[in-house]
Chains A and B, each alone.
Chain A
Amino acid sequence: MNPDDNLEKLLRKWQPDFKPDPMLAEHVEDQIDVLENRRKSSLLASFREWFRGVTASPVYAGGLALLLVVAGIGLSEIWNGSKERSPDQLTSIYRLSVDPLYRLDASANEARLAAEAALATGLPLDESLVWLQEELELDQPQYDAFLSLHTQYQDSFNELFAELVSLKSGYQKFETDRKSDDVIDFMALYELLQKQKELRKLSEDLTRELLIKSSELMNADQKTRFLELYKGVSPSLEARSYTPINA
């Protein structure tokens, strides 16, 4: 008998018992309610906290008006149609979508950080992928796989970015407390830095994994162009972690 037939036979024998969970639907609905309530309250709370922080300082208060104008222009640029966006902008959007560390670095100050966080779940990734499809001449099956691959990673990237942002805020709070109390909790600092290191590593690994998997969908020429494109906008990541395989 073919060894594969034996394996098929064995696989068919493995039939775990299944009993439907009578409470599943209720648990799911409860969790959805909790999440929606938390989202509503946390969005409001974060905005209040951020706004209070910004307006508390005279320097920030003065800069707030300017910031709103700049942020308004920036957001409208991002949300406008792709025809009005330059390839550099689209590449940056792509990069923001697949590299939480870049997203964090791009958030140069607290206000930008809040703007980025608001964008975290709504970056027009699809649009930059469509642009990449044209740019790299991906055929439909290639593009479908490319899109599906990126969709799979989006939740993880957004979660990682949210964790990185919260860690950054934690560090800033630690610094503020240190300056006002003049006491350093070394254990807390150590834990914070360790967690930061761990998250940064995880983020780099995930981005790298996605880039490698994406490039595996392409032919040699597309792969080279894709990596060149990515390198052009992000030499830092390239130096930081990405070692292309078969490139």
Chain B
Amino acid sequence: MLDDQKSDADLMRELVAGRQSVLRTLITRWERPLFSFVYRYIQNEHTAREIIQETFVRLYTKKERYNPEYPLSSWIFTIASNLCKNHARWLRRHPEVPLETEGDRDEEGNAKRDTIPSNLPDPSQLADRNEEIRELRKAIAGLPHDLKTAMLLHHFEGLSYKEISEVAGCSVRGVETRLYRARKLIRKRIEKTLSEDRLIQKKKPSPPVRRGLISEVLEDWAKA
């Protein structure tokens, strides 16, 4: 049987038995789901890819700890979510700052020089002009770890409540509660931001229509 056709549990058994080449099959199989989860959690592509790499390294170095009676998804997402949590904790303790002074910014406040990679959205994110999606991302980014993990695994990775409970280390009932709380918080944050934005748009006076320079000159000539 080809490696591609083998179950995760079989591949893990072979990995434990010393057949390192099956790691590549596992990487091909799990890179996309991991990216889907980690990218949405971290919201920075470079960091997400680093975390995915580390997840596979840990999957290999801790392979003996895997229990084939459980789906690999629970175990692999447990590793990834712990790494995401550690990264978030590290970021809180080591906030990243731009390598620049006040004078290094232009009139609009944009950096003139390169900065240390930060957790801010990358250009592909900035290109995303969908306001609602942007607000959704912000709302998810602001969720506590437990709620965020449950939310992302349920909505985007399609894990069952049982599998999520194994990742999160809580009961199935606990998963339901977390999902309920996460949805509530997201809705609240999105509604608040969008309504505030609309309010600001309403209050902001529309800019005066600027006539063309040629028309102005022609009018001045006519007056003269």
Contacts and interface: CB of A to CB of B under 8 A. Distances in A.
A14 B133 contact: yes
Contacts of A142: 171
A167 interface: no
B74 to A, nearest CB: 8
A21 B31 contact: yes
A4 B186 CA distance: 10
B36 interface: yes
A204 B27 CA distance: 35
B39 A21 contact: no
Interface in A181-222: 198, 213, 216-217
B82 to A, nearest CB: 6
A11 B155 contact: yes
B10 interface: no
Nearest to A16: B39
A35 B61 contact: yes
B35 A18 contact: yes
Contacts of A144: 166
A221 B147 CA distance: 27
Contact of B53 (A8, A24, A35, A151): A24
B169 A152 contact: yes
A29 to B, nearest CB: 7
A56 interface: no
A25 B136 contact: no
Interface string B8-38: 0000000000001001100110011001100
A31 B57 contact: yes
Contacts of A155: 58, 62, 82
A52 B30 CA distance: 46
Contacts of A3: 187
A28 interface: yes
A174 to B, nearest CB: 23
Interface string A48-92: 000000000000000000000000000000000000000000000
B119 interface: no
Contacts of A18: 32, 35-36, 39
Please indicate which of the listed interface residues A3, A17, A32 has the most CB atoms of chain B within 10 Å of its own CB.
A32
A18 B48 CA distance: 11
B193 to A, nearest CB: 13
A138 to B, nearest CB: 12
B36 A16 contact: yes
Contact of B170 (A7, A13, A24, A216): A216
Given A14-B133, A145-B170, A28 B183 contact: no
A10 B183 CA distance: 12
A135 B189 CA distance: 45
A109 interface: no
Nearest to A150: B169
A172 interface: no
Given A21-B49, A145-B169, A152-B78, A28 B56 contact: yes
Nearest to A149: B169
B132 A24 contact: no
B53 A14 contact: no
A24 B156 CA distance: 22
B60 A32 contact: yes
B198 interface: no
B210 to A, nearest CB: 37
Contact of B31 (A13, A20, A29, A149): A20
Given A7-B183, A21-B49, A145-B165, 13 more contacts: A10-B190, A18-B32, A21-B31, A24-B27, A24-B53, A29-B23, A32-B57, A32-B60, A144-B166, A152-B82, A155-B58, A216-B174, A217-B171
6 contacts: A14-B40, A16-B36, A27-B53, A28-B23, A31-B54, A216-B170
Interface of B: 20, 23-24, 27-28, 31-32, 35-36, 39-40, 49, 52-54, 56-58, 60-62, 65, 74, 78, 82, 86, 93, 124, 130, 132-133, 136-137, 155-156, 165-167, 169-172, 174, 183, 186-187, 190
Which are the 9 A-B pairs with shortest beta-carbon distances?
A149-B169, A28-B56, A25-B24, A31-B57, A25-B27, A148-B166, A148-B169, A11-B155, A18-B35
